[in-house]
Structures are given as C-alpha cells and as structure tokens.
Amino acid sequence: MNIPLIEIKKDKCNVCYACVRSCPVNAIQVKQNQDFPEINTDWCIGCGGCLNVCSPKAIVYRDSKETVKEILKSSAKVAAIVGPSISGEFDDITDYRKFVQMIRHLGFDYVNEVSFGVDIISQEYKKLFDDFKGKHYITSICPPIVSLIEKFHPELIDNLAPLSSPMIATAKVVHKIYGEDTKVIFIGPCIAAKNDIKNNKEWSEVDEVLTFVELRQLFEEFNIKENNLEFSDFDSPLGYKGSLFPISNGILQAADIDESLLTGKVTTAEGKSNILAAVGQFEQSIDYIKQNFNLFYCEGCLMGPGTSRGGKKFIRRTLVTEYANKRLCDFDLEDWKKNIKAFDAFDHTRGFQVNDQRLPEPTEDEIQEVLKVIGKADYDDNVGCEACGYKSCRDFAYSVSKGLAKPDMCITFSLKNKQEYIKALKKSNDDLAKIQNQLKQSEKIARNEQTKAKEASETITAMMQKLNAGVLIVDENLKIVQSNEGFINILGDEAREINEIIPGLVGADLKTLLPVQFYKMFSYVLTNNDDVLNRDVHFGEGLLNVSIFTIRKDKVVGAIVRDMFSPEVRSEEVINRVNDVIDENLSLVQQIGFILGEGAAKTEKMLNSIIESYKTKKK
C-alpha cells in the first residue's frame, strides 16, 4: 500500500485553509463543491510547510517508527546516520555523548555522523564551482528544492548540481565499513527524504528515514533517558566543519567555498518566499546574476518539518555553532584527512528526472471571469490582501481558473456573500414572521369557523331529532353517516336496541336495515345523481313516503322518510295532496271557466270549504 507522505485528517480539520495558503506549489487544493482541502500527492514537494501552520494538527506525515522497530528486531546489523541538525533539536540533552548512547540503547549497532558526508559533498561542490565552464548551478542538497525543479521548473533540470546528498554519501561510507548488508537508518529533520528513498534508486543506500520527532517518540516509548546511561561517542569517521550544515551556508564554510559579496560566486537563500523568488529569477535572469545558488527550502535544516514544533531558529543556530566549536577544540584533523582521502574515490554524482506537473495556462478571459465573480475586475493586478494564500487577486483568479482553488477562499468575496446571505436570511425571517402572523390569524379564523360549524352541526342534529319524519344520510358504500330518532322509530325495536350501542346507527350497513327495493333507490341516486322525490314504498305492513336527494355528488345522499300510517303524517298528507289536486286542476278550471262561468267559482269555493272544514276538525 502506497501511503502518501503527507495527508489531512478531515476529522481534525477546521477548514481554515492555512495549509492552502502555505503551500508553495498549490498542491493543497479546495475543489468546487468540496469543503475540506486535499493534497495532490503528485504535486507535493514534501517541504512540510503545511505541518507548522496547521493549528489543530490535522496534517500528518508518514510514520516510520514501526518499520524502524522491525528492522531493529531483525538479525541484520543496523547503523544510524544522524543529521548534524540534532545539536539544535535536542537542547534538553546535556552532552551529545549521552545522546549517542540513547540511540545505541534503541538497538542500533552503529551510530555515525552525517556531518562527515557533508564534508565529502562540500568538497565536491568546491570542485564544481571552481571549475566554471559557463554554467551556473543550483545545489541539490535539499530534497524539496530538487522536487520543486523537477515538477514545476523542469527547464532548470540541467542546472541542478549533479551531486548526491550528504545522507547518501554517509550511507555509502557506512556500507563500505560495515558491509553492504548493513541496514541504514537516517535520522534527521527532513520528511521529503522519506519519499526519496522509496522513489529514487540512487537513494537506495538508505533503508528508512526517521525524523527527530519520531526519535523522541521512540525514546519515550522505550523509556530511554540520559541520566540512566553512560557516555558514548559517534563511530568513526567523525565529521569536521560539516557540523555547520544545519545553517544554510554551512556547507559552503565546510569546504571554504568563497561566499564573499565581492569575489564569491555563490548566493545562499532560505525560506519559502526567498526560494520561490530565487528559482524564478535564476530561471529568467541567470545570465545577468551570474551566481551559483545555494538553496534550502526551510530556514536551514535546523528548522526542518521533522523537528519539534515551536523551535526558535537563532537559539538552534547558536546550539549548532556551540556544538561545532566544542567538537573542533580537540579534533584530530589529520585522522579526518585520512578518512576523507580513503573515500575520495567514491562516485558521488547523481541524475534527475523531469516530472512536469504544470497545468495548461488559463486564458485571459477565464481569469477575468473569475475576477468579476469575486468583485475584483477593476483592481490593479498587484493588489491583494494575500489572506487567500496568493500574492494578488489576479494570482488567486489564475489558480481558480486552473481548478486549484474556489472563489469562497477569497475573504472579501466570502464576506460579501455572507452579508448578502444575512440580508436574504433577515428578509426570509421577516417574511416568515408575516406568514406566521397570517397563519395565527387563519388559525384563529379556522377555530372560530370550527366552533361555528360545531354549533351548527349540533343545532342541525338537534333539529333533526325534533322532526317527526325520519332523516337519513348515507355514504357511497351505503353506510349510515347520520340518522335521527324518527328514522330509528320507523325501523322499529331492533334498530332502537342498536341505537343504544351505536348512537345514530353510524356505520351501519343500509342493506341490513331496509328491504332491497328501498336501498336500491339510494344506489340509483348515488350512481345517477338523479333525485327520487315522494316515492311511496311498502315497508312490512306499513307504507313509507321517501325522498332521496344528492348532498355530495357520487359521495353522499340524504333521505327523508315518513310513515304514511302515522296520524300526523296522514292528516298532513291529506292536506298536501288536496293542495296538489287544486294546483293541478286550477289551470284546467281557468281554461274552462269561460264555459262553466259561475260553476268554476262554485267548485273552487266548495273545495276550499272542504279544506277549511278538515283543518278545523283536525284542530
């Protein structure tokens, strides 16, 4: 499984985009429709700048401790080659000899200084710079610098000094002394070296890279403390001025390379901003500058990403120089020269590989479109707050056009959107408040209407119960929705018993209560929406007068049922039917009036007399 060198733990990320702003090659990207930043491992140069700016410590690098422990458990001899930056990192160790013994106590058979490798490589640089043949070089000591050029400035590949790193030079010495089967672990401040030993055959001399932070963790894990151990010095060969390597121009002083401002031919630069400017100007103007460039991405190796966070540069620098001075007080220079000569025949050259990761350039129209979106179309090209991580708004728009960033990373654009969102939200809240008030009013009206409807229903129900006639309401399934006491009395004792259990016979099937010819009339009205009025129907030994009418089309019908044998209904029905006779014959009487003359009037008078007489009798 290919574990990336650096990764972002989303569960810890607070989406502050500090890592995006810190990355010199835009390898940390925030794509559209994505909140969390992601690392493009193909673009990453392993500088580790993102590690130091991530306050929640959501960014981590590949851990090598388990691999190193497995190597130490093996039967092979294991050598630790220690970067000279260790003198600036372990300020809590009172004597470097105790420090060496602590490393041995972890299980290492040999502990050697990389400062000796620095001495070897610095001599090679002196030869290269002194033998000027018209080409100026960039030092290839710092892995992130090499990666930066291979991926983003491939035109400068031929200007990289074709020399191995001090780490590889030291590993070759260790293999020469202890045998090729000896396992070599580099302990230092650089995390990019972890990738180099995996990806480059020329780095295969080293089996694993352990950072100073990881070394501290191993000391803590195995409870190794200096006060429990005796002194132990580094194994030979010892380094000389290579101990100054952690300071950016230390490699030049190790070989007495001229760095005079008047006569020197080497310019040293360190730190992200200076490095990017140096590489850019070397690429564009080296024929005018006419200098070799000694470049370190970090502010010297003493501030590498594999060192403890919060280290103070100038305190570490002082510790490095004090350590070097202390070592040089009784240094055996003659023995050192012999060792240098013994390994002088080694081949310390290396090659480089173009790995162009540059994207196609966006068009001017695409850049201008982004500037319009973020509201910076009228701004000067060099203007920018740099909060997004880019030097100018144009640089930011350029990256957005290439898909490396999204507009929301622009603080002013984001704030403007938030302000507009707040305004929209406020308007929505106001509208919602109005709607809520309207709903309250509607609810109040609805409650009033409900109360009125309930009162009306109760009134209608009471009225229905007062009627002598039977009243019935039926749904489309011929189930009783409501009926009054008059209807229940018409049905008889059995219906009255059911009514005591189910008031109003609600839900009862009409088919079980009335004869077939009766409920077929209900089916007819429901199906045809054609009312049936004043239909006489025999019911048992009685006679019922039925009127069935539509209340809701195809859904609900109502009926009025009268018992024609009831004295009240009989008297009323006689009157109604006599009136019907008068109404039906009146027009005919009027038509023959001319013929009958007084006879018609007498007939009407006589009929009216009968009606009045009947009414009086009824009273």
Q: Which of 314, 342, 370 is the last residue of a domain?
A: 342
* pLDDT score of 595 more than 60: no
Bond prior to 362 in cis (omega within 30° of 0)? no
Contacts of 567 (CB under 8 A, 6+ apart): none
Tokens 């120089």 map to which residue? 321
Tokens, residue 486:
């008059």
Sign of the torsion angle spanned by Cα atoms 203, 206, 212, 214: positive
Q: Which of 15, 37, 62 is the last residue of a domain?
A: 62
CA distance 246 to 146: 18
Percent share of the chain, pLDDT over 70: 84
* pLDDT score of 68 more than 60: yes
Residue 213 lies in a domain: yes
Residue 20 lies in a domain: yes
- Are 33 and 55 in the same domain? yes
- Are 474 and 610 in the same domain? no
Mean pLDDT value across residues 581-586: 49
Measured between alpha carbons, how far apart are the two ends of the chain, in Å?
Answer: 111
Q: Which of 535, 548, 614, 549 is nearest to 579 (CA)?
A: 614
Residue 299 lies in a domain: yes
Full residue range of the structural domain in which residue 37 is found: 1-62
What are the tens digits of pLDDT across the range 421-466?
Answer: 566 677 777 788 888 888 888 878 878 777 776 665 566 666 666 6
- Are 135 and 34 in the same domain? no
- Are 7 and 51 in the same domain? yes
**How confident is residue 254, by pLDDT bands cut at 50, 70 and 90?**
very high
Residue 364 lies in a domain: no
- Are 303 and 180 in the same domain? yes
Per the prediction, the chain carries an average pLDDT of 84
pLDDT at position 617: 46
211: β partners: 188
* pLDDT score of 295 more than 70: yes
Residue 431 lies in a domain: no
Pairing of strands 556-563, 470-475: antiparallel
- CATH number of the domain residue 44 falls in: 3.30.70.20
Sign of the torsion angle spanned by Cα atoms 418, 420, 421, 425: positive
Q: Which of 139, 119, 149, 122 is nearest to 47 (CA)?
A: 149
Q: Which of 320, 342, 364 is the last residue of a domain?
A: 342
* pLDDT score of 579 more than 60: no
Q: What is the DSSP letter of 276?
A: H
By residue count, the chain amounts to 619
Residue 290 lies in a domain: yes
* pLDDT score of 270 more than 60: yes
Residue 391 lies in a domain: no
Residue 427 lies in a domain: no
Lowest-pLDDT choice from 132-136, 385-389, 500-504, 580-584? 580-584
Please state the φ and ψ torsions of residue 536, each to the nearest 5 degrees.
Answer: -85, 130
**How confident is residue 380, by pLDDT bands cut at 50, 70 and 90?**
low
- Please give the full DSSP string across 338-371, using - where no structure is assigned: HHHHHTTTS--B--------PPPPPPHHHHHHHH
Count structural domains, the chain: 4
- Are 612 and 588 in the same domain? yes
At residue 122's C-alpha, the angle toward residues 116 and 125, to 5°, is 155
Q: Enter the pTM of the model.
A: 0.66
- Are 209 and 318 in the same domain? yes
- Are 556 and 576 in the same domain? no
- Are 84 and 202 in the same domain? yes
pLDDT at position 241: 95
- Are 97 and 48 in the same domain? no
- Are 126 and 262 in the same domain? yes
Tokens 């020469």 map to which residue? 176
Pairing of strands 480-483, 266-270: unpaired
- Are 245 and 106 in the same domain? yes
CA distance 221 to 393: 48
- Please give the full DSSP string across 520-541, using - where no structure is assigned: HHHHHHHHH---EEEEEEEETT
* pLDDT score of 392 more than 90: no
